[in-house]
Structure 1
């Protein structure tokens, strides 16, 4: 220990000696100019602020005046110009320079993956293994911002990096006291995707790179590049994380719980990425702060800093247009707003046609055989908007208020002629909306103690009115979710590396389901309310090669007088410099799930309804999950292998969407999924290549059904995705990638006895459930991204993308119906994937 102290003192002495020697070899520029004025009887004209803090090494000998001017021009970022025999002007240069640097911790260890951004532009870099970065063609007066998660950001003028000998400046970042999970892989698949120490994945949309097929940094499309995350029907409204259903994903937007995630019925993410700058995806080992979402947590956060200048952007693609603004109202008050709206009600594009065909295939809009095209009309539009008010009372107390609204609307009209020749028209409508509001107050009471108080309100509605031409019947439906919640978190930093979290959360959720039929007259209304109290505690230790988070959550359901205890764990230990081991586990629950209503669907478009647990025929869902992994990371190469086991209990037949003999039965059960996830990723400054593979086995168990054990509807045994993202030029990037997976299960009718009589109704006579498999799914996508400048403060980007380059027509669902022309036969109905779909986008940032 004593030897270590002496070494540190010696290093400190040497550093001070070197710094002192450097200062000795240089003198203030003003002093040198004064000497030249005296030697050559001239006068330098300059602004004191331009030269006051500059030092320069004096020439070894006395020079002529012209030699001095050349020397000064070569060794400073100033322009020295002789006006006449007496006067010389000195002005700052307005030119572009090349800079380089090393970013290190304050313990002199290099920081791999620090973000280097030229403020106000899209230009930037990521530090390499030794902490080095380089940038070319940087305006000399530009501001360079250096950041790394868990460390305080620093900014410098570009001129600070200028040296005559092209030496690279070393920057030391100080660790933040309130550090979040540190990054362990900093350029994961593409820029802006990073892996955190607790195993979660961070998506930073502000720095997001390019993924195949995408023309926008679509939040929920992007996370499907991660192993273990699929969408069996290509819909972001149906994201399957480790074999779960979409309703088992907890979706948070600035701590507001969201119940709707897609535009165009699941083909486009409903969350605008322009202000939603960070998304954390957690598949296991979730913080005890969060409940619900027995499969995953998708936590979206908007920008949280008040800017110093007015900034924003506008853009459009072939389906919608959007805009966002960041407005500093004062030094401690800011407003962030964004909005997006489709223009599909006024203009249709090839992209819209492909999306429409994919969304409404197998619906009454596309398949009603009794109406010709000229007698039907459909109009679809969507919009979303967000607003955030930021108020910094001071540096220790901050208040935030948020609002978000998401809406989809479909109007459908049809007409027919009566036997008398009269024309009669009917109109139908479907609207989906999710309105959320929330607020928070964070307070730093001391260096070690801080709190956060937050609350939210979320309202989700599906309202449908189906006016049916042939039966002269009106079917009205409504599904409403109304939830409010409040939370108190306290954080205490026991030491620099150890933090204790304690908290309390209250939530109240009410769900309404209503169906009304005009002829014959029928009405059904059901509303349930559930209150939940929870306390939780968690201890997090993070130091160099070790990360440990241990927590527990106690949930009390007031209506059922029921307690649920949920332990959580996440551990990461670096064994050697390039190899780390990871362990994660969790117990979770959720009380709100979605059922599939085959009888009361609207035009075949939307048939999922939110319902609430009643602990009778609809239990509270619970999950237990464990995973263990190893990660190798060295020289821009990252290899990750994870084995996982997950068991979810309390699912029901109605929320699985069976197309077999079970679909109208009432039973509860469980599913168990186990498998491995593999990811290999090579990332450099010029390219990123990756391949991911998931192998899993996913089975149901319903003890009251026969057979009781059979494959899960979303059981994908093998799934592979790969891509290459290439920086051809500094401003031009391309990306090409593909995915392949085995087909999902389906049930076919009994051969030779395809239909049976059920009372007075003929139904399909299904064989053993989920014994058959669809054909393999395969798709190839490509994207191109080009950036350019209108001026120093206005940047623009153009993107082009193609989904399904080969126009592969994959089957994503298969079921059977009784043949209306021959009730002894069943007809096969296949839902197809999105065909070849091009898209373009153009965006301007200012």
Structure 2
């Protein structure tokens, strides 16, 4: 039995061996011989390199298969690509590997658009969702992924997942010390950076109460410690400072004008302006001016591979934006905006115009004088060219132009004859800059910035009864050059050095035709700055430290100023962060008010250059410390600060009491606390902000050397919420603050010697300010690359009459007349925008 079993087993093994041997013999058929046979059978021709197929052995395809099935069989056997060039010609090539994926930031988990992905000379750019596709020939091909602000990835194809489109995370560069430490500080798109500043990213921005669009300078006012004493973007007060103490830059270009509609809306197009960075303290040594704060606007810094843009209209203006590629290494961006008041007068326009015309020459209508043909217009345009000749070089060319115009005819009956003369007011800014950045090595980079900015305010005031024409001009022209060089000493330490030159010319003209009078004043000041800064970031990113020094030399005055800067941030425990910020700064320009009806009473501010005597160089010192807790959607942040500013003048502080025409210099100090409490849910945000401030003037040459500042808002509270459901966004917010200080005449003795007899300076306050705002947006798609966005908003829903300013003028020999200026009442707005990409 066992013998028979062994014989049977022998035959089975022999048969299997025969079968396997037969299959092996069949599989050794060379691919070239199979191709020759297929050419004859199907009447086709195979084109290939001999070296590619000569050594390949494949299992011959079944003769019953069609040509298409046969090619599929050979593809599987040979791992080669068979490409049908024509009906009778088939090209054989080495099969390419296809790599795809989604690129995301490792910290925020957000998609990274427009990231460069290269394989040798071939390359691509990720789309807005961070997706890319790229081909490779060999598994050893090296794929390079490069993005500004993140570590470059260089990895062979075989180390990627080639079976599916996987997520690939990029890590922020260690030397990017300004990386985000608190996401969604207020709402989505508002973050806190490691250098202590706050950043608004309009690419991620959701919605704020009362804003129909992402108004750049209105948005910063949602942050604690930022107020506008009169609701305008041209009078933003940072921790008790006047507006002229703010440094406002657009892509590094210093701007001397900030608003349209004489300050009611921002003149910077948010569709081109990608980010806004706000420094209340601790600014970098590369920045000068702005003793109270810095508002730095930055545009997109990447080449867009596809054309995109938008056009829109609201109840104030029509606007458009386009971003178009110029090949793979350059792109161009153009935006424009114009008031629609020339075509239609909307309720929003009427509210805005009434607001700016209160108690001005424009509004004046009396029994003997009337104004007619009142016209108003504003427009702006901006242009950018981006050119990246290589991965190491980046060139930017920026240009911006903006203008406000108002005109009216003054009519009066003179000697029985009706006479008419026109008054006009024009405000204009034009600026341009060139910026060149280069990464010389992995550890050495440089940046060169050159800019020219020009601002002009011109008014022609016609006085019909006196038969007089009064021409006024205020002009600022500035040229700036800045060079920065950064050296990465270690993976955690970066040393930045630089030089800055600014030449500023300010011109003021007063020209009266009868009696003939002309006064032209022009001043020029050249300032040099040398700066150095060390930046440190710990390995666990828990500790960030910037320490720098800036040396300034003012040619005209032979004056030297040393300015240390500090920002320190440390995370500890579970969700806690402590920060310390400090800075010394100075500025050479300020704004002054010459008299009440200056520039028709609409725009009362003229820029003026320091003379180091009656108009000192303004200097400041500031220190602040803060503590944050961020966990499980809760954020609590409190910052205490102290600021002292020397060299201010009474002319720059908007006095409208006994000190309105006094010219003297002094200082002010400000101390307070900014607090924010925010809860973030899946689809909603809730926040409560509180700011307390005590700010006092010190003018030793005034009868009252010490009294409250004109910008002393003791308490300010904001409560807000926004909610997102798919493509629908809605927001509501309540703003309350104590009233602005002002000076009241002495009761029962209001006028002495034809002048108002004022009581103690700023001893009275307006009633509390209260405003409720709401806004909503909805976005829907029209097609794969087109969507429409509609929005509605209401400012001051309760239509509360808030007093923002009060001043007095003699009315009779014993009584003073009160002039009360009110904020915007209930103001609706609506918009529609077509977005294509």
1:223 is aligned to 2:220: yes
Correspondence 1:380 to 2:376 = yes
Distance 2:427 2:329 in 1: 37
Aligned match of 2:758: 766
Where does 1:550-629 land on structure 2 (aligned, <5 Å)? 550-598=547-595, 601-629=598-626
1:85 corresponds to: none
Paired position in structure 2 for 1:465: 460
| CA RMSD, 1 decimal | 2.9
Asked whether the equivalents of residues 211 and 735 of structure 1 are also in contact (C-alpha less than 8 Å), the reply is: yes
Please tell me whether residue 698 in structure 1 is matched to residue 688 in structure 2: no
The Cα shift of 1:367 comes to 3.0
Alignment of 1:802 with 2:794, yes or no, is: yes
- On the 8 A contact 1:114/1:147 being kept in 2, the answer is no
Q: TM-score by structure 1 length?
A: 0.81
- Match in the other structure for 1:455: 450
SS in 2 for 1:290: coil
Assess, with a 3 A threshold, how the Cα gap between structure 1 residues 118 and 563 changes in structure 2: closer, same or farther. closer
Which structure 2 residues correspond to residues 405-554 of structure 1 after superposition, within 5 A? 405-420=401-416, 422-543=417-538, 544-554=541-551
Contact 1:516 1:523 survives alignment (8 Å): yes
SS at match of 2:341: coil
Structure 1 residue runs without a partner (length 5+): 1-33, 56-99, 106-110, 121-137, 155-159
Match 1:404 to one of 391, 395, 400: 400
TM-superposed deviation, 1:423: 2.6
When residues 190 and 45 of structure 1 are mapped into structure 2, their CA distance, relative to the original with a 3 A threshold, is farther
Q: Which residue of 2 aligns with 1:369?
A: 366
* 1:751 and 2:751 aligned: no
Distance in 2, matches of 1:459 and 1:605, equals 21
Structure 1 CA distance, aligned partners of 2:196 and 2:532? 20
Deviations, residues 283-322 of structure 1 (Å, cap 9, x unaligned): 1000000010000111111112111111111111111111
* Equivalent residue number for residue 111 of structure 2: 116
Residue pair 1:672, 1:699 contacting (<8 A) in 2 also: yes
* SS of alignment partner, residue 486 of structure 1: strand
Does residue 176 of structure 1 match 2:173?
yes
- After TM superposition, the score normalised by the length of structure 2 is 0.82
SS in structure 1 opposite 2:262?
coil
Q: Once the two structures are superposed, what CA deviation does each residue of 1:494-527 show, in whole Å capped at 9, x if it has no partner?
A: 1122111000001100100110111221111111
Separation in structure 2 between the aligned mates of residue 381 and residue 748 of structure 1, nearest angstrom:
36
C-alpha contact (below 8 Å) 2:500/2:529 kept by paired residues: yes
Structure 1 match to 2:726: 730
Paired residues for 1:623-638 under 5 Å: 623-638=620-635
Name the residue aligned to 2:28: none
Q: Structure 1, residues 675-732: CA drift from partner, whole Å, max 9, x if none?
A: 00100111233001111000110000011112111000010000001111011x2011
- Per-residue deviation, 1:663: 1.6
Q: Distance in 2 between matches of 1:605 and 1:161?
A: 64
Which residue matches 1:840? 830
Q: How far apart are residue 104 of structure 1 and its match?
A: 7.3
SS of equivalent residue, structure 2 residue 362:
helix
Contact 2:577-2:627 at 8 Å conserved across structures:
yes
Q: Distance in 2 between matches of 1:766 and 1:163?
A: 82
Partner SS, residue 203 of structure 2? helix
Task: Output one character per residue of 1:155-194: Cα deviation in whole Å (capped at 9) or x when no partner.
Answer: xxxxx99999xxx965432333652511011112222111
Counterpart of 2:140 in structure 1 is none
- In the TM superposition, what is the alpha-carbon distance from 1:279 to its structure 2 partner? 0.9
8 Å CA contact retained: 2:766, 2:803 = yes
User: Does the 8 Å CA contact 1:149/1:182 hold for their aligned counterparts?
Assistant: no
Out of 288, 293, 297, the residue aligned to residue 296 of structure 1 is: 293
- Corresponding residue for residue 325 of structure 1: 322
Change (3 A) 1:659 1:418: closer
- Are positions 1:672 and 2:669 aligned together? yes
Q: 2: CA distance between counterparts of 1:104 and 1:652?
A: 48
CA distance in 1, matches of 2:767, 2:324: 52
Separation in 2 of the partners of 1:641 and 1:162? 48
Q: Closer, same or farther in 2 for the Cα pair 1:615/1:102, shift >3 Å?
A: closer
Instruction: Kindly provide the CA deviation profile for residues 568-625 of structure 1, in whole angstroms up to 9, marking residues without a partner as x.
Output: 0000011213001100000000010000121551221111100011011010000000
State the distance in 1 between where 2:507 and 2:395 align: 33
Cα 1:608–1:660 change in 2 (3 A) is: same
Please report how far the alpha carbon of residue 377 of structure 1 lies from its aligned counterpart in structure 2 after TM superposition.
2.0
Match of 2:785 among 779, 793, 797: 793
**Largest Rg, 1 or 2:** 2
Give runs of aligned pairs for residues 54-203 of structure 1, distance below 5 A.
105=106, 111=107, 113-116=108-111, 150-151=149-150, 171-176=168-173, 179-203=176-200
Identify unmatched segments of 5+ residues in structure 2: 1-57, 80-100, 116-128, 135-144, 154-159
Residue by residue, what CA displacement relative to the aligned partner does 1:235-266 show, whole Å, maximum 9, x if unpaired? 00000000000000001101111000000011
Write the distance in 1 (CA, Å) between the matches of 2:109 and 2:671. 36
Offset of residue 44 of structure 1:
8.3
